[in-house]
Chains A and B, each alone.
Chain A
Amino acid sequence: MTAEEQRRRAFWQVLLFTAGLLVLTSISAGSVYLVNEARDDNKWVLHTIEVENQVNALLLEVRRAESGARGYLLTRETNFRNDHDKAVAAIIPALERLTRLIGNSPAQRQSIEQLSAAIQTRLGQFAREIDFVGQGQPEKAAALASEAATAGTTITIGSVASAMIREEERLFRLRSISADRSQTLAASLTGIGSGLVVLLALISIWLVRRSARARDDAETRLRDANLNLETTIDERTADLREANDEIQRFAYIVSHDLRSPLVNIMGFTSELDELGKDIFRRIGGLTGVPAGGPPVDVAEIPLDGPDKQMSTDFSEALGFIKSSIARMDRLISAILNLTREGRREFQPEKIDTRDFIEAIVSSVAHQAAEAQAEIHIEPLPNIVSDRLALEQIFSNLIDNAIKYLKNGVPGEVRIRGRTKLGYAIFEISDNGRGIDPKDHQRIFDLFRRAGTQDKPGQGIGLAHVRALVRRLGGTMSVSSELNAGSTFTITLPISWNASNRNADQ
């Protein structure tokens, strides 16, 4: 999974979370608002009903006052008078209450003004009717009553009241519809909100599942890649090991098989040598002894002239053949030894490097004295390695340092050591004849040598040393100029263990 994908996924998750939060908040806010709205609507519905009731109550009181007045007019009984008075007393508070209830609704305000004017008029008429009855002029009161009935004060009251009731009924319908709408809205808002939340939750689950799957896939791929890598490394290591083994076997077989014909060549050369001696002895016997004379030991007869020359040539030829065979034998033996060394298993052990080098130095003390060389050992780090291999490495290098000194200059060989990052670095430097930089690679090759060939040697030592150093997990280099001494640097792991190389053998 790339970083870009990861960032995108995180972004989506944050976005989803925010969206969910927003939806929840707006649902809550909307719900609160709508519930308030509905409550208001309901309040208004209730108010309408109250207004209606109040109008009806007012009308009832007006009717009671009227019927009380009529009853009193007809019978002059105080019962009716009392009844009428009670009703009239209730009319004004009822009207006031209605006015309060109506508040400042403009349409109703107008109606109430008409109503209250009509009621005032009627109340005045009532008062006059009662007065007329009190003064004993009932006909005047009756005329007033009938005038009120016909002139429309009562009718006006009735019609205005019913108009008010109709208005209130209209309002009631409107407010009911509004309340219904609020409720419907609240319900749908909740529904849509819940749906959104569920949808967001589903998307989140999907996203989480997708990322989990992606992670599992990535893990599987990583595991596969690791396995593949290990397999590849194992395969390569096996290939390398096989190639190395093959080279070792090849070198061994070649050197071994080369020896077989060499045995014949050497053997029959010696036979020829013997034969040649016999032949020349016989020639000497035939030419040097007079015929018929006493037998003489043929070995004691000297050859003369061309015979002697032939014998010398013969011996010389055989001598060259023999020395060449001996050289070839040494080379083959060297290769055999190298391949054998390559197969030897190392045994790591703790080595007190100073004691170890001192032992090597004392073993070459005789050569050093002959070459007038001094060997200085500086403090050296101790290491864990194969003793035999180290012995071969150091004795070869110290031997070389003493061997290739400048003629006539007292030798000075210095052995230094230090450690760096888990490696011990050893330097063996001398003030000897040095090595031309163009030969620095060549001297490590098998059977190759450099410089003046005035010392015996096969050209094996450094090749062998470098092979050993490599097998010990180290490296080796040389820095040198002609006539300016040489420094061989060996870098070896401080603690070599069998697992780094022996496992590969």
Chain B
Amino acid sequence: MTGHKGDTPRKPADDTRRGSPVLDMDAVLDDPNTRIVVCCGSGGVGKTTTAAALGLRAAERGRRVVVLTVDPARRLAQSMGLTELDNTPRLVAGAGGTGELHAMMLDMKRTFDEIIEAHADPERARQILTNPFYESLSSSFSGTQEYMAMEKLGQLRRSDDWDLIIVDTPPSRSALDFLDAPERLGRFLDGRLIRIMMAPAKAGGRSAFKLLNAGFSLVAGAMTKILGAQFLKDIQTFVAALDAVFGGFRQRADQTYKLLQAPGTAFLVVAAPERDAMREASYFVERLAQERMPLAGLVINRVHRSPAPALSAARSAAAAEDLETRGEHELTAAVLRLHAGRMQLAAREHREQEHFASAHPTVPISQVPAMPEDVHDLAGLRKIGALLAS
């Protein structure tokens, strides 16, 4: 990332943020009341890099920071001088200033195991941990990541070891799955399914009697037919064993959700200036408002600008055509074509941002210009941090 000419941040002449307030990133990072920053956005917009860059900047401005990422990007670990990231926060060497930067990557299975171990007696914990259904649920099934990310965030926050926690969110199929996860878990745990599955264990009890009235035999029969008796039995054993753990589990999911709504949390929606990503960003902003989650602002990564904004795409293309017709200055014509393309792209990105800004005029925005290469080291992260705050 070093040695490139276009490194210095530049204010464009046609500032696209005319309508929207500018996001004062340093104010967010410096505020001692800010304890959690959540970076969310669709896949491929640079969430993880943004989280790491903000972590470094906050640390260098004096805060004790941990960055929790769910993205197993080796390159990012390397850019922080760590060979790999795991479930334990590791100190990042080379961060300047008075603060500290630590980084970690979510290990879902390990996190899940820890919850079981903390909440079940040893015998029951063993039953759960060796159940084949648990094995899959904890390590392979994709939705578990959201629960565990939120659980880990809650743990970090409760430990009070950290002045500031910066987290990026899983690249979910529905990008706000991490918000829905705790509620869904609750719905599941309160649901009749669990009680029906538990029914054999409680046979003869009042609950089983009620369930029988609710058409239990029909349902049980159908489930056996569809799932197969053995599979159903595995699930039943698993659910029965988990029963003891569930209460605490659910309570904590609720706590984490409330934590996210608290004033100490700042949500950053991350996007790129393309139609899909901006559309997702709009959706995020609306969802966060609906859930009463505190939004700090929108980060738009990879914005294309031109060092020669006064020369429009149209004039540039016309001049190129003129030179080509005359058969003169081939090089200049080619450069003008290049510039016209760049201006056209900038204009398109500008339009996408305008759409967002007109729908959400009060959302503060921070823009980061496009870089030709990915971040490879702390210097690269530091530069992105500076651009985020400029």
Q: Do A and B bind each other?
A: no
The chain A residues found within 8 Å of chain B, CB to CB, are none
Binding site for A on B (CB under 8 A): none
